[in-house]
Amino acid sequence: MSTLEHKKILLGVGGGIAAYKAPELVRRLRDAGADVHVMVTKAGQRFVSTLSLEVVSGHGVGVSLWETDSKHEIVHTDLGDAVDLVILAPATANLIARIAHGFADDLLTTTLSASTTPVLICPSMNTDMWENPLVQRNIDTLSALPRFSILIPGKGLLACGVDGAGRLPDPPQIIAAAAATLASNELDGVRVLVTAGPTREAIDPVRFLSNRSTGTMGFALASAFAQRGASVTLIAGPVDLETPIGITERIDVTSASEMTNVFDTAWNDADVVVMAAAVADYRPASPRSEKWKKSDASAGIELERTVDILGRTSQMPNRSNKLVVGFAAETQDLEANARLKLEKKGLDWIVANRVGGHASGFGKGANEGLLLGTAGKRVPLVRMDKAQFARSIVKEILESIHNRGAK
């Protein structure tokens, strides 16, 4: 199922330069499964064509407070309540102020005033405007109301030439925030601990041992759990990934020993543990404090085992009250090797995926494999992008999560 499958969304486009991104956002929302309707403010129409929005959305675009439907009835009060979510992107300082002070002087603000539908506000403006205390006061006013969620703008080079905060987040970030806003609460109160990415084991101040993991799968799993209402702690190795929307806490580490220390501290507070990190099995026994010269290469590197974090979970306190999910990246005998790892390490579930010479696994946008559980449980996971792959895993283990401790 797509991220926003069967969801009906109203996109409100304010009068900022970032309005030019609206057609692309509509297309991406539809790709995610949503039925998208659009309203554009009078100022917004100066930056984006209503015709382009009609074409990509498949619906007429609302622009006037006095528009009527086929029955000659004003429809603004109906659409706000008919959708599952309102997204305001871009939300200008002016639009935010009008909403915060209860104005209803155009189609968009009147629709918002006449409905109780959740609203995701995506601010976009000049850096000085964003940092203006009056704008921040309006943001705080809306943030205090359960109906409104704020997606903090990104940083970068703005149209005004300033390099700073105020950029409209890219469509994937807005879609992730929308999914989080609409997240079910079926995992409300469940605390999930996810590890992701590689570790780096120092050889000297310049070099290290590592692997091809990008952390994409672990981050997707963290996001999938958050979308279902769980409180998620994410322990991340050295990766270049933004924190998913809805994550409670992110802790960055570098080495296997650092990940072990953080993991041990976080273990007691977790109900579900998902070990998606590709932790190094070995590290240099004696890392050098100075750069290793080529002339020293003949000496070789003596390696020692790192702590098997996943393997020791079976002996950790309160293990019987937790659900532990591991990963098995294999190049051969996928199911047999994964099943052996499942049993040897005392896991509840293991995700097996083939890596090496295959169009999935490390560093790829897609994944496929098997979800194996105790008592011979076997769920094939067909090829799909990693976000969908993660949601499929979470969906399959939901019953196990709720039944944890009753083993």
Whole-number pLDDT of residue 358: 52
Spatial neighbors of 334 by CB under 8 A, at least 6 apart, are 328, 352, 353, 354, 369, 370
Residue 186 resides in a domain = no
pLDDT number for residue 171: 93
pLDDT of residue 245: 81
pLDDT at 313: 94
For residue range 33-49, list pLDDT tens digits in order: 999 999 999 999 999 99
Q: What pLDDT is stored for residue 291 in this prediction?
A: 87
Give the model's pLDDT for residue 182: 86
- Is residue 324's pLDDT more than 90? yes
| Averaged pLDDT for residues 376-388 | 88
297 — pLDDT class (breaks 50, 70, 90): low
174 vs 332, more confident: 174
Q: Tell me, what CATH number does 117's domain have?
A: 3.40.50.1950
- Quote the tokens at residue 282: 């070995």
Q: Are residues 164 and 198 located together in one domain of the fold?
A: no
In a domain, 1, yes or no: no
CATH number of the domain bearing residue 215: 3.40.50.10300
Q: Considering the chain, what is the average pLDDT of its residues?
A: 90
d(CA 33, CA 260) in angstroms, rounded, equals 39
Mark whether 303 and 238 lie in a shared domain.
Answer: yes
Residue 12 has pLDDT above 80, yes or no: yes
Q: Are residues 87 and 219 in the same domain?
A: no
- Say what angle helices 216-227 and 386-402 make with each other, to 10 degrees: 50
Q: For residue 3, is it within any domain?
A: no
User: Which of the listed ranges 111-115, 251-255, 384-388 does the model predict with the highest average pLDDT?
Assistant: 251-255
Same domain, 162 and 231: no
- SS3 for 383? strand
Give the pLDDT of residue 165.
Answer: 85
19 and 54 together in one domain: yes
Q: Is residue 229 part of a domain?
A: yes
Extended beta strands in 58-203, E state: 61-62, 85-91, 119-123, 148-150, 154-157, 163-167, 191-196, 201-202
Better-predicted residue by pLDDT, 53 or 404: 53
Residue 2 lies in a domain: no
Summarised one tens digit per residue, pLDDT across range 69-78 is 555 555 556 7
* Whether 225 and 267 share a structural domain: yes
- Residue 68: pLDDT over 90: no
pTM above 0.75, yes or no: no
pLDDT-based confidence at residue 185 (cuts at 50, 70, 90): confident
User: φ, ψ for residue 381 (rounded to 5)?
Assistant: -115, 105
Q: Which of 163, 181, 199 is the last residue of a domain?
A: 181
Indicate whether 46 belongs to any domain: yes
Task: Report residue 207 as tokens.
Answer: 């070099």
Number of structural domains the chain divides into:
2
Query: Cα 165 to chain center, whole Å?
Result: 21
Q: Which of 151, 181, 211 is the last residue of a domain?
A: 181
| 122: annotated active-site residue | no
Q: Dump strand ranges (E) for 103-248.
A: 119-123, 148-150, 154-157, 163-167, 191-196, 201-202, 208-209, 231-236
Q: Is residue 407 situated within a structural domain?
A: no
Which residues form the domain of 12? Answer: 8-181
Q: How far apart are CA 56 and CA 37, in angstroms?
A: 10
Same domain, yes or no: 212 and 347: yes
Both 358 and 302 in one domain: the answer is yes
Q: Are residues 148 and 255 in the same domain?
A: no
For residue 76, tell me if it sits in a domain. yes
pLDDT at residue 344 is higher than 70: yes
* 268 or 385, which is more confident: 268
Q: Are residues 267 and 362 in the same domain?
A: yes
354, 369 contact by CB (below 8 A): yes
Same domain, 255 and 288: yes
Tens of pLDDT, residues 105-149: 999 999 999 999 999 999 999 999 999 999 999 999 999 998 999
Rounded distance between C-alpha atoms, residue 148 and residue 8, angstroms: 17
The share of the chain scoring above pLDDT 70, in percent, equals: 93
In this structure, are 115 and 239 located in the same domain? no
Q: Which amino acid is at 67?
A: E
Catalytic residue among 160, 285, 359, 382: 160
Of the residues 138, 157, 181, the one at which a domain ends = 181
User: Does residue 261 have a pLDDT over 90?
Assistant: yes
Residue range 386-400: average pLDDT?
91
pLDDT of residue 178: 92
Contacts of 220 (CB under 8 A, 6+ apart): 244, 386, 387, 389, 390
